[in-house]
Amino acid sequence: MMISRRGFLTGCCVYGFESFHRPASHVVAGFAASQLSGDIRRPQFHLLPRANWMNDPNAPIYWNGNYHMFYQYNPDGAVWGNMHWGHALSPDMVHWQHLPIALSPSLDGPDAGGCFSGSAVLDDQQVMVLYTGVVSVPASEATARGAINFKETQCLAVGSGEELLTWTKRPKPVIAAPPADMEVTGFRDPSPWREGDWWYTVLGSGARNKGGAILLYRSKDLRQWEYVRVLTQGEGNHTNDSNPVEAGDMWECPDLFFLGGKAVLIYATDGKVYWECGDVDRKEWVFHARRKGLLDYGPSYYAAKTQLDRMHNRIVWGWLPESRPLEEYRDSGWAGMMSLPRVLTVDADYGLRVEVAPAIEALRQKPQIVEVTGNEEQNQRRIRSMYIEQCCGEVLCRFKRDSPAPFSLSLTSDHPEQCWLTLRYNASQPAKLLVDETLLPLGTGTDEQIEFHLYIDGSAIETFINRQTSYTKRFYPAGSTAPRVGLKIAGRTSDISRLRLWQISPISSDRLTT
């Protein structure tokens, strides 16, 4: 059961400045470090806090020789609520050091009810974050209505120090209200960029029973903003009148950026992250999409956020939520993790392409290689002998696209016997691929091979197919000992051109990611 990132929980606490310097390594009473580090379902090479709840990636930025990742964080439990900004530092987007909490709700401030998502920019060598602050208000004043009615405004904070450990907030919102003529279903998650003398930002919004919308604002100084217009708008699915995000009437976590002269918009709604690639009419400020799709087709990827790395590649991060019952992750003392960093590119036909950042390759160890022969039995025997230990590894498989026999690859465990994920391809339907029970589009293109690339970590599997599409899911091994993960391949092994497994080296000695 996936809990909405905006599940407005009754009884959500409000904290003031007294919690500002509470370290992100704080461990909830009753959850000792040994209990957390001994949990086989915790990942070993994905970022997550030492304990408690994590959701959206916020304001990732490369600055002063390091990568900074902020994220939605509840310092007081492994459930949504009491939103702070956790903070971690990395030299390579792989190995992380936990830092003190960056942003905490300010008593009587515009973020007294929580510091929601936002973005970072560099302005005159200063790191600035634009984020959504919320306060609890009567329903008549709310921009987001639910069990708790929130007024959402956009706030500004300035970071200082070599590791951005100190943050100074402006006491009042820099964008205090949505457009006067709109009755919005939400008003949050600013994502700014600079063009010439102007700063621009998109904001997630929408109108009930009409569809999600992306609002555009501009500013000369990041402090005084003016509304420009609705940049683009979609249609809802009319399936859930009580939750506008699930109904598609609210688009959250928008991000607009430019790759290869093309405009890319991503946003989250109805449990998925969508992308649109096209052009922006800068005279009228209207986004014209040419192609659309899902950033990830799996059930466990949401709230994506991008940044530029030190080589100016566009990197996207996502939140991998839990899919087990709330009671289970609450009692485990932790919930949620960050995806691996993914590199985005755009092809000549406005298609978005995605693959894991090559920095992850530094973690590979103990390669296992299948030298394919013409002897099917021998090939299968070699495949059955290969395992990933501790649910911590990588699989790469390439095979002929025009194979006359259907081909499938499954991740399995024999203690107990279990199938965690299956990919199926049939050359008779070359534009489709089945992952578990989900049908994914697969462009026919000119590729002569199909590539499956999988990363398995504790309780998460991130899968990439032909650098075109991805599928992320969570799985939960039983017991106190992590099972070995093996492969089962159906089809002609002689059609395989490359099959390799690697163990992945943990980024910490105790699963606490620091």
Angstrom distance (rounded) from CA 294 to CA 273: 6
Side chain identity, residue 193: W
436 is catalytic: no
Q: Cα 212 from chain centroid?
A: 20
Report residue 298 CA to chain centroid gap: 12
Report the C-alpha dihedral over residues 390, 391, 392, 393, rounded to 10 degrees: 120
Backbone angles phi, psi at 185, to 5 degrees: -95, 0
Contact 96, 69 (CB under 8 A): yes
281 SS3 class: strand
Which amino acid is it at 253?
C
| Three-state SS at 217 | strand
In sequence order, what DSSP letters do the residues of 289-308 get, joined into one string? Answer: EEEEEES--SSS-EEEEEEE
Report the C-alpha gap between 182 and 352 in whole angstroms.
32
Number of residues that make up the chain = 514
Contact between residue 462 and residue 362 where contact means Cβ atoms under 8 Å apart: no
The active-site residue, picked from 39, 56, 76, 436, is: 56
Closest-CA residue to 216 (of 182, 190, 181, 186): 190
DSSP state of 106: P
Q: Say if CB 444 and CB 306 are below 8 A apart.
A: no
- Residues forming a β-bridge with 216: 202, 229
Give yes or no for a contact between 136 and 150, defined as CB atoms under 8 angstroms apart.
yes
* Closest of 238, 278, 271, 275 to residue 254, by C-alpha: 275
Long-range contacts of 289-292 (CB under 8 A, 24+ apart): 289/232, 289/265, 290/350, 291/349, 291/350, 291/351, 291/352
Query: 408 CB contacts (<8 Å, ≥6 apart)?
Result: 422, 423, 424, 425, 489, 490, 491
Q: What tokens appear for 179 in the block?
A: 């457009």
Task: Answer yes or no: are the C-beta atoms of 303 and 252 closer than 8 Å.
Answer: yes
**Which residues belong to the active site?**
56
